[in-house]
Structure 1
Amino acid sequence: MDGQRKLYLNKNWMLFAEKVKHRDKWKCLQCARGGDHVILQVHHDIYIPGKAPWEYALSDCRTLCKGCHAREHGLIEPNRGWTLISIDDLDGLDGTCQRKGCNAPIRYEHLIYHPQWGYMVVGSTCIEYLTQEDRLLSGNLIKQYQNISKFVHKSNWSTDFTKQGKPYIYSKYQHHIIRIYGKEGQHSFQLALKKKGVKWYDFGNVIQLPRKSTLLVKELAYITLKGTISDNEEEKELLRNLYRELRAYS
């Protein structure tokens, strides 16, 4: 058994993967399938050299069924993300659809391209299936995960001290500030909101997050800030639900 396989049998990975699946309500975020008959796996959207699979932010990962996970890694033919390049009329059923499992005779050759799969010629029926727009039920949620992950890993954090001399770290998002107090496992955070054209900040309540990692606190603080400043009620509700799930279960 190689070292990589051992990592995915580690109890730390199993606990982490369970948190991701719980957050995603035990359903594939690609096809929305769940239940006892569906094998669910956890996919890393980013890879950081030297990190164990369970040392990532939860927002770096999402739940996929075994089939969608294989497609994500290019192991089986993707069923989304294709681009139509050209259409050629053969004047008869002289072509063959190259989509796996089809092989039907075709008159209209649709040349399509996928960045992970390359070029393929398909017929009129299969083209509608392969090049349809992404209609994922969880599309908005995945976008939020990507935004959270980007903030957690690419934001700049500085150190300062309170009036009482206690250190804290802070980062800016747009013209607002997130402060994180305390040490690992004993954190709290506070938002400082600033209106455009106004010099001072409006400091919110200090939110206690005991027994949470620094990485998770950064996620929760960002989710809170985004939900506070958003004007979109659907986005605000999505972020509220995500915050509750992460805080309660992680």
Structure 2
Amino acid sequence: MINLNKNSAIWLVSDEQLNGEFRQAVSLVRQIYRKVHGVSSTTSLAYKVEAVLNCGVDISRWGRPELDALLQVTFRDSEVTLSYVDRTLANTPPSYGTALSQFFRMVFIALWGRRVLIAPLSIQTINHQVECFDMLCEKLDVESLTLIRGLHPESKIASIFKRGEFNDGSSRVNFWLRLLLSTNFYGVDDIQSEDCQKLFDSANGVGVLPLRRYYVNDFLLSVTAACEEKRR
């Protein structure tokens, strides 16, 4: 399954299941934040996230419309603010809002890893949180996510494919991560030839193509590296 929509996710669970899955993903990322950042310093990311989530906001009431809006909050240069999600977040200080955006980016990656959504192309990767992101990948234990994350030179995840040219904030490895989250390529067994063709056709050819900047050909070679039959 491929999601080439720029802004809208494909949700893989029912509305009745969605909030429970979301709260579990939030709990997982909160645990990682507490372990890595601690909550004793008022300037830490974990402190800021905890301060907001403990100030009366009730995420148990958030359904699909709220999560659709929250996802857009995490997009680059988004005009959707936290107040669209929940009015109790309307007065969140800017520095706390930035911390929340990074936090929820990680939550949505957790939701992808739990097979709850296929992300839109506007989803963003995680910046400047190497230990948190590595720990999330280890806890999710999703084959393709671990493989792609391990390519980044800053990641501590071992990879025989790690290369120096990936050490760039706008490098192909970040595009590959975003592209991965817009597929259901959890492992090599999930990769179907028709999906590979759809990715290839969306990156190669004439005109405006949604995946032209995503280094799709090398991405497909990377995610199918463990299976010679798939590489064909």
Q: Please indicate, yes or no, whether the TM-score normalized by the shorter chain is above 0.5.
A: no
Q: Which has the larger radius of gyration?
A: 1
Higher helix share goes to which structure? 2
Task: Give the TM-score normalised by the residue count of structure 2.
Answer: 0.25
Structure showing greater relative contact order (alpha-carbon pairs closer than 8 Å, 6 or more residues apart): 2
Task: Give the TM-score normalised by the residue count of structure 1.
Answer: 0.23
